[in-house]
Chain A
Amino acid sequence: EAQVTQNPRYLITVTGKKLTVTCSQNMNHEYMSWYRQDPGLGLRQIYYSMNVEVTDKGDVPEGYKVSRKEKRNFPLILESPSPNQTSLYFCASRSTSGSPLFYEQYFGPGTRLTVT
């Protein structure tokens, strides 16, 4: 089954304690991305990756790091989490080959992070 998986699904942590949220896709997609969803703000992109070892900032990258060492994995790293990073996080992927008009992204189930 084609899917994007995220772990953990729920995480409560304390300010300053480094954490990593993993993301993996089994569709051989080149493009992967992280979003955060906050009430009244919709989905905002944090970082994205066009392919292995190619990453770039999205709209709200402050306080986050990413890496893309393998095509299927795109972990999100919070080196020193703060309460304003309490949010719902989604990983997504899509192919960059095929019809350029096919812009659908596939989303993971989400990770709800609480930083106290």
Chain B
Amino acid sequence: DQQVKQNSPSLSVQEGRISILNCDYTNSMFDYFLWYKKYPAEGPTFLISISSIKDKNEDGRFTVFLNKSAKHLSLHIVPSQPGDSAVYFCAAPSGAGSYQLTFGKGTKLSVIP
């Protein structure tokens, strides 16, 4: 059973517009979420996170929104830039001590110049 779901495998956005990447989760025990970005031929790198005590966290062009009642979070990128083209993974700490990360399947974002 997939506990973290990213239902859109891909997304194309024009440069300068907003990119919205979505993530749903089923485990109500999850209380922290992270977004990772992955370029081809590189490992994933941490982008932004949010704790369940917040509903929004912002870092420059990146904002993550959390809707606990809907078990839904989204990553907004404004404005989108060609360098943002990558695969984005949503993840939640899980397991004993919450040291493991449960990942979604990822969304490939393409920002068109």
Interface residues of A (CB under 8 A from B): 4, 31, 33, 35, 40-45, 48, 50, 58, 90, 92, 94, 96, 100-101, 103-110
**Bound Cα distance from A33 to B51, whole angstroms:** 23
**Bound Cα distance from A33 to B41, whole angstroms:** 19
Q: How far in angstroms is the closest Cβ of chain B from A98?
A: 13
**A43-B89 contact, Cβ under 8 Å, with A50-B99, A100-B98, A101-B32:** yes
| Residue on A nearest B31 in the bound complex, by CB | A101
**Bound Cα distance from A4 to B46, whole angstroms:** 14
Q: How far in angstroms is the closest Cβ of chain B from A105?
A: 6
**Bound Cα distance from A105 to B34, whole angstroms:** 10
Q: Which B48-101 residues have a C-beta within 8 angstroms of A?
A: 49, 51, 89, 91, 93, 97-101
**Bound Cα distance from A94 to B44, whole angstroms:** 14
**A45-B43 contact, Cβ under 8 Å, with A103-B32, A103-B49:** no
Q: How far in angstroms is the closest Cβ of chain B from A113?
A: 14
Q: Is the CB of B100 within 8 A of A33?
A: yes
Q: How far in angstroms is the closest Cβ of chain B from A46?
A: 11
Number of A-B residue pairs with CB-CB distance less than 8 Å in the complex they form: 60
Q: For B98, list chain A residues within 8 Å (CB).
A: 100, 103
Size of the B side of the interface (Cβ < 8 Å), in residues, is 25
Q: Is the CB of B100 within 8 A of A109?
A: no
Q: For A44, list chain B residues within 8 Å (CB).
A: 103
Q: Is the CB of B32 within 8 A of A42?
A: no
| Residue on B nearest A40 in the bound complex, by CB | B105
Q: How far in angstroms is the closest Cβ of chain B from A39?
A: 9
Cβ contact of A42, chosen from B42, B51, B104, cutoff 8 A: B104
Cβ contact of B44, chosen from A31, A43, A58, cutoff 8 A: A43
**A103-B43 contact, Cβ under 8 Å, with A42-B89, A96-B97, A96-B99:** no
* B45 contacts partner chain A, Cβ-Cβ < 8 Å: yes
Q: Is the CB of A42 within 8 A of B105?
A: yes
